[in-house]
A and B are shown apart, each in its own frame.
Chain A
Amino acid sequence: MNAVDTAPAAARPRSLVSLLALYRLLLRTQITLSRLLGIAALGSLAVVIGLFIRWDENPNQAAADAVVSYGLGILVPFATLWLGTSVVGDLVEDRLLVYLWLKPVPRWQLPAAAMLATISAVVPLTALPLAASAFAAGAADIAWPAFLAASLAALAYSGVFVAAGLWFRRAIWWGLAFILIWENVAAYVVDGLARFTVIGWASSVLGMAPDIEDELEAGSAAMALVVLPAIAIAGWLIATWRYRRADVD
């Protein structure tokens, strides 16, 4: 009897067990205290803005504009960029991916776990403060749409940035270019381009609140509830494809 004969006829691990193991690992390795504090600080600034807006002539519209310009334009994308690109990107840079690759685990699980880990941290630290900023501004009607818009935006961005982390060596910089140029400039300057941006669709969700003007006009709120998760799924598929084909160092 030798090792080959007695090697366990190992059943493929139940998907949930391995997915959970990967999720926990990525949470522990990437979601550090300094990152959480940094994002929380940015989130608290949203509440500060909300307090200022309380004195505006039209606090509802002003709160909605602040949610779009600060929340969806800066807070959510930067928080997701920081975590989403590093959750797998750091493993690649530190040459630790080998310990996850050489396992009988379906390739889709690592990108999925990465996205789950990212939104686990980003949504509470961005969507909740944005909702709180609406209450601070005295625009309670905006709170729930703001929370939903930020959550869906985080979901969509997590797909984009996890894929970027697997695709590019300097994923952070590509992500910055995407946020600054595409999401924050092109979406506003070029007619019709907003429907090809995450910020455009996320701001559409704010249309669920009464009497709110959406500057970007990417589409309806109902459509946004489909498009944003679709962007996340597309990002996950691209990340899986890339991970499957990658040469692992």
Chain B
Amino acid sequence: MTTQDARLFDLGYRRYDGPRDHPWRAIVTLAGFTARRVLGLGRGARHKVLPAITLAIAFLPALTSVLFSVLTEDILVDDLISYGEYTFIIGSALALFAALVAPEALCPDRRSGMLGLYLAGPLDRTRYLVAKGVAVFGVMLLITVGPLLFMLIAFVLAGFGPSGVETAELLLQILAVGITTALLYTALSMAVSSFTTRRAAAAIGVVLVIFVPASIVRAAIESAGAPNELDLLSSPLVVAELAYRIFGETQEGNDPVTQLSTWLVAGGVGAAILAGALVCWLRYRRLEAFR
């Protein structure tokens, strides 16, 4: 063997110079991965228990309504749950689901240090949040649109439901309510989750932010005579009232929010969505991803 036969081969780091996808691909990938993680897909059975239970709770009123109408072979309108009141009825399930989904989507990345790895690639902070937001929103749609869609399809198939143009109109209303509700809960839950790395603390925070303002505001309005507009701070009640309005229904009782104009109610929901999104974005702009 002589030195003339010797070769040195460079096995060191090389840049990848081939074609690269657009960053939106990274957003889609992260969103899909997050949605799967939150729902426990691709993981053991015990990771699916909590999402499954919450979905079951949310679908239960729709299921019983459909079963009742099928078994009695007739619809007694007063005895069934209307589309408009569904959001109000499953308010606790919505809060529970939001308390499960957003903390699971955001907190582990900061606690484990994955956020730093994500930001070292094509995802900047805004794209990262968009990806997470899309994931949380998409999963929330399961619970905000799913039961209503189930009711619609079941009633149509059973011959009780609307037909023709009415079906399309009802479908649009369902999508409008579902999307708005999902956006609200996504924004609020992500805003709260951006403040802590512990899922447990975030979950409690989400529920408190959803329900505590309502308690205070109602006391202020009903006892101290504060203006009804203050009820716009009661997010779950405001979005439930908006659902009634979209479906053309009227809520029973004299809740302060029922006295407000539709534009004000819609504006309140929109403002809450924007506020939640802004808080989350500002938090992540300032976070140090050093772990």
Chain A interface (Cβ < 8 Å from any Cβ of B): 42, 45, 48-49, 51-56, 59, 62, 66, 69-70, 74, 78, 81-82, 85-86, 89, 169-170, 172-173, 176-177, 180-181, 184-185
CB pair A53–B96 under 8 Å, yes or no, is no
Interface string of B45-89 (1 = CB under 8 A from A): 010001001100100000000000000000000000000000000
B46, B211, B219 pick with most chain A CB within 10 angstroms: B219
> Which of A48, A69, A173 contacts B203 (CB under 8 A)?
A173
A51, A53, A66, A176 pick with most chain B CB within 10 angstroms: A176
Residue in chain A with minimal CB distance to B95: A180
Residue B215, interface by CB 8 Å: yes
CB pair A177–B200 under 8 Å, yes or no, is no
> Which of B50, B92, B224 contacts A52 (CB under 8 A)?
B224
Distance of A173 Cα from B200 Cα, bound (Å)? 8
CB pair A176–B211 under 8 Å, yes or no, is no
Q: How far is the CB of A124 from chain B (nearest CB, A)?
A: 19
Residue B201, interface by CB 8 Å: yes
12 more contacts with CB within 8 A, not counting A52-B216, A78-B207, are A42-B208, A42-B212, A49-B216, A52-B219, A52-B220, A52-B223, A54-B224, A62-B219, A74-B215, A85-B200, A181-B57, A185-B92
Residue B272, interface by CB 8 Å: no
> Which of B99, B208, B211, B225 contacts A173 (CB under 8 A)?
B99
> Which of A53, A66, A176, A185 contacts B207 (CB under 8 A)?
A176
CB pair B216–A177 under 8 Å, yes or no, is no
Q: In the complex, which residues of chain A have a beta carbon less than 8 angstroms from the beta carbon of B96? A: 173, 176-177, 180-181
Distance of A42 Cα from B215 Cα, bound (Å)? 12
Distance of A145 Cα from B46 Cα, bound (Å)? 42
Distance of A66 Cα from B100 Cα, bound (Å)? 28
Q: In the complex, which residues of chain A have a beta carbon less than 8 angstroms from the beta carbon of B211? A: 74
CB pair B201–A180 under 8 Å, yes or no, is no
CB pair B208–A78 under 8 Å, yes or no, is yes
Chain B interface (Cβ < 8 Å from any Cβ of A): 46, 50, 53-54, 57, 92-93, 95-96, 99-100, 199-201, 203-204, 207-208, 211-212, 215-216, 219-220, 222-226
Q: In the complex, which residues of chain B have a beta carbon less than 8 angstroms from the beta carbon of A55? A: 223-225
Distance of A170 Cα from B226 Cα, bound (Å)? 40
Residue in chain A with minimal CB distance to B49: A170
CB pair A172–B204 under 8 Å, yes or no, is yes
Q: In the complex, which residues of chain A have a beta carbon less than 8 angstroms from the beta carbon of B208? A: 42, 74, 78
State whether A62 and B223 are in contact (beta carbons under 8 Å apart), knowing that A78-B207, A172-B200 are contacts in the complex: yes
Residue in chain A with minimal CB distance to B217: A52
CB pair B204–A78 under 8 Å, yes or no, is yes
Distance of A181 Cα from B92 Cα, bound (Å)? 7
Distance of A78 Cα from B216 Cα, bound (Å)? 16
CB pair B215–A82 under 8 Å, yes or no, is no
Q: In the complex, which residues of chain B have a beta carbon less than 8 angstroms from the beta carbon of A85? A: 200
Give 19 A-B contacts (CB < 8 Å), ordered by A residue. Answer: A42-B208, A45-B212, A49-B215, A49-B216, A52-B216, A55-B225, A56-B224, A62-B223, A70-B219, A74-B211, A74-B215, A78-B208, A89-B200, A173-B99, A176-B96, A176-B203, A180-B207, A181-B92, A185-B92
Distance of A177 Cα from B93 Cα, bound (Å)? 8
CB pair B92–A86 under 8 Å, yes or no, is no
Residue in chain B with minimal CB distance to A34: B201
CB pair A49–B219 under 8 Å, yes or no, is yes
Q: How far is the CB of B32 from chain A (nearest CB, A)?
A: 23
CB pair A176–B99 under 8 Å, yes or no, is yes
A56, A169, A172, A185 pick with most chain B CB within 10 angstroms: A172
CB pair B53–A177 under 8 Å, yes or no, is yes
Closest 8 A-B residue pairs measured CB to CB?
A56-B223, A172-B200, A52-B224, A180-B92, A52-B219, A49-B219, A70-B215, A53-B223
Residue in chain A with minimal CB distance to B200: A172
CB pair B216–A48 under 8 Å, yes or no, is yes
Q: In the complex, which residues of chain A have a beta carbon less than 8 angstroms from the beta carbon of B220? A: 52
Q: In the complex, which residues of chain A have a beta carbon less than 8 angstroms from the beta carbon of B95? A: 180
Distance of A85 Cα from B201 Cα, bound (Å)? 11
Distance of A45 Cα from B212 Cα, bound (Å)? 9
Distance of A54 Cα from B224 Cα, bound (Å)? 7
Distance of A42 Cα from B211 Cα, bound (Å)? 12
CB pair B201–A69 under 8 Å, yes or no, is no
Q: In the complex, which residues of chain A have a beta carbon less than 8 angstroms from the beta carbon of B92? A: 180-181, 184-185
B204, B207, B224 pick with most chain A CB within 10 angstroms: B204
